[in-house]
Chains A and B, each alone.
Chain A
Amino acid sequence: MIEVDRLCVSFAGRGGWLRGRPLRVVHDVSLTLARTEVLGLVGESGSGKTTIGRAILRLLPPAGGRISVDGKDITTLSRAELRPMRRQVQMIFQDPYSSLDPRLTVQQTISEAFAIHRIGRRHDWPERVAALLERVGLPPEAMRRYPHEFSGGQRQRIGIARALAVEPAYIVADEPVSALDVSVQAQVLNLLGDLRKRDRLGLLFIAHDLAVVQHVSDRVVVLYMGRIMETAPSRALYAAPRHPYTEALIDAAPVPDPRQRKVHRSLHGEIPRPDAPPSGCVFRTRCPYAIDACARIVPALEEVTPGHWKACIRDDVP
């Protein structure tokens, strides 16, 4: 199990010599991910969902909190100490057009994993690569070709094969289908579903498309400005959201059915800048149910029903 406890991530402020104050983009986020489970991380820009994914992989340094993988605390480990952990947690990236080194063949890209972790013997590598390609639905001949010879969907499969090369227990998928054509998204989503079953993978699925997240996830975490607004089992979240932001997200998602055209109760206003968050509840500036108390109190996560948590001082909304 991956356990994230009150994670905080900051970015250095802008400016050269006169570095500004660090900007906190993730605030006290806690979550867990078990094997065979899919946890959806949903949010818009500034929600911190991508940052959380990268922090879990220690591609970014946490500014606070704890991350542990299968019981081992990896929060402050050095790069060398982290290497073994990279066999347990891997990542799939969003942009199929820049997540593969254009100068390396598919074989070289995937074999890099074997080289780093000294997996198998060098002359076995081509065989391993062929097996991985087969698992993601690509022919073995693909290994001799370069990324530009493949389509977006195929490149994404290659990225998945690369992540699988170290036989991880958990994968962080950062918007894995957002940059793909619609007709190809389903292919990759199905592939991820298969892999999760076959390899008993724990999957952290980061996305902004609610329909995709619902389809894939067992549980969902809804983020806004780096803070958790609501977390619940997938079914419960969509059927009966308990946070106004979740409701707004679900309402705003365009549905491919002209009869459900929205007489928009669009959320007004913009997402506030991260360096000037509203006092109290950060969502209050756009919340249709905000009251005076919302500006004074920072809502804590409360459990509404078992496994369903929300961060809102009002119990009667949405």
Chain B
Amino acid sequence: MNAGETLLEVEELCTSFFTDEGEAKAVDGVSFTVRPGETLALVGESGSGKSVTALSIMRLFPSPPGRIVGGRLRLHWNGVVHDLVAASEPRMRRLRGSAISMIFQEPMTSLNPLLTVGEQVAEVLRAHTDLGRRAIARRTVEMLDRVGIAAPERRAHDYPHHLSGGMRQRVMIAVALVCAPALLIADEPTTALDVTIQGQVLELMRGLRAEFGMGLLFITHNLGVVAEIADRVAVMYAGRLVETADVLALFDHPRHPYTAALLRSLPRLCRGEAAPAGALEAIPGQIPSPFERPPGCPFAPRCGFARPRCTETVPPLEVTPGGQAVRCIRRREIVP
């Protein structure tokens, strides 16, 4: 894999949901790239639009009422550039599972309760390859083994409800990776898991990422998980991308006030003798609703560095040659 290549290009993506209550601008200006073999963490809280971004890339959002209203999505796969916004539904179906795969937060509702675990893995193979029955069975067991499921030949005949949360998540990873996609999108895959199981699954994903060499778009709200798994980080707030940076740079020198405020408001686990000090540095206010976004910079109402001009126009995303990006008109004046 050529490190300089791009796998996925997202450029000024805008996805809205047109409901009885008006237009919800779930994604309103997101740009980032994912390179082969790299892990990009997409970080944001509720209303940030991170999940809708992932669903937009896969074209899996309900449409109506959802629609991509702007921007470009380009996937570089097998020497061809696929336009994911304009692609036909049959083309998207061919891409899903073979070029891009997705895993979700709740394994119980993402796995079909009526099919055995083995059947669900085999289904992907049947859709995208023309292997015979025995070859498919063999590949299924191999894949289950690779994701760390003990006694995979036996387990392949189990139904999802026989398995624990962590194991179901491993099955979902197996289903997603069995056809070796170039890009894996993981939408909060460890949020619903116990912390000791979370560690196992993250370790598994890191290993598989290295082994398969795929790009990984990891969506989460947990900055600890980001620190564990990401090479680069893209931060979203209220539908917009506000900062992109290498993981070390992001945690050491966050350049957007939101990122900085978020990092400061986290309670930190202290293993030394020093106990953490009194109150946490909370961010005042709340996240705006997707129906009523404030004019200008979406974070301005809560930002300690806001000036009147921040609410006049939406700050443009400034990209440096190194691939870092910040959406803040005061980025040169302040150290947040």
Contact = CB atoms under 8 A, between A and B. Distances in A.
A181 B47 CA distance: 10
Contacts of B269: 210-211, 214, 238, 250, 253, 255
B194 A271 contact: yes
Contacts of B45: 181-183
Nearest to A259: B248
Contacts of A189: 267, 280, 282
A44 B227 contact: no
B195 A249 contact: yes
Interface stretch (A79-87, A261-269, A299-307): A261-269
A186 B270 contact: no
Contacts of B81: none
Contacts of A210: 195, 269
Interface string A257-299: 1111110101110110000000000000010000000000000
Contact of A254 (B225, B262, B272): B225
Contacts of B95: none
A235 B196 CA distance: 22
B282 A181 contact: no
B268 A270 contact: no
A51 interface: no
A33 B286 CA distance: 33
Contact of A270 (B164, B195, B280): B164
A183 B265 contact: yes
The winner among B166, B269, B270, B271 for most chain A CB atoms within 10 A is B269
Which 10 residue pairs of A and B lie closest in terms of their CB atoms, listed nearest first? A254-B224, A186-B282, A44-B194, A215-B267, A186-B280, A181-B45, A256-B223, A186-B265, A211-B269, A252-B199
B62 to A, nearest CB: 21
A49 interface: no
B271 A238 contact: yes
B224 A153 contact: no
A258 B225 contact: no
A214 B269 CA distance: 7
Contact of A252 (B165, B195, B230, B287): B195
25 contacts: A44-B197, A181-B46, A182-B222, A182-B265, A183-B282, A189-B282, A210-B195, A210-B269, A211-B266, A211-B268, A215-B276, A235-B273, A252-B196, A253-B195, A253-B269, A254-B198, A255-B224, A255-B269, A258-B230, A259-B248, A264-B199, A270-B164, A270-B167, A271-B164, A271-B194
Interface of B: 45-46, 164-167, 194-200, 202-203, 221-228, 230, 247-248, 251, 261-263, 265-273, 275-276, 278-284, 286-287
A250 B265 CA distance: 20
A239 interface: yes
A250 B197 CA distance: 13
Given A182-B45, A235-B273, 18 more contacts: A154-B286, A182-B265, A190-B279, A208-B194, A208-B195, A210-B195, A211-B267, A214-B267, A215-B276, A235-B275, A249-B195, A253-B224, A254-B199, A256-B251, A264-B202, A266-B200, A267-B200, A270-B164
Contacts of A252: 195-196, 198-199
B194 A258 contact: no
The winner among B164, B166, B265 for most chain A CB atoms within 10 A is B265
Contacts, number: 150
A215 B280 contact: yes
A182 B223 contact: yes
A23 interface: no
Interface of A: 44-45, 151-154, 181-187, 189-190, 193, 208-212, 214-216, 234-235, 238-239, 248-262, 264, 266-268, 270-271, 286
Contact of B227 (A153, A257, A270): A257
Contacts of B266: 182, 186, 211, 256
Contacts of A214: 267, 269-270, 276
Contacts of B276: 214-215
Contacts of B261: 183
The winner among B226, B261, B283 for most chain A CB atoms within 10 A is B283
A151 B271 CA distance: 34
Contacts of B194: 44-45, 208, 271
Nearest to A190: B279
B288 to A, nearest CB: 10
A268 B287 contact: no
The winner among B197, B261, B284 for most chain A CB atoms within 10 A is B197
Contacts of B228: 254, 258, 261-262
A306 to B, nearest CB: 17
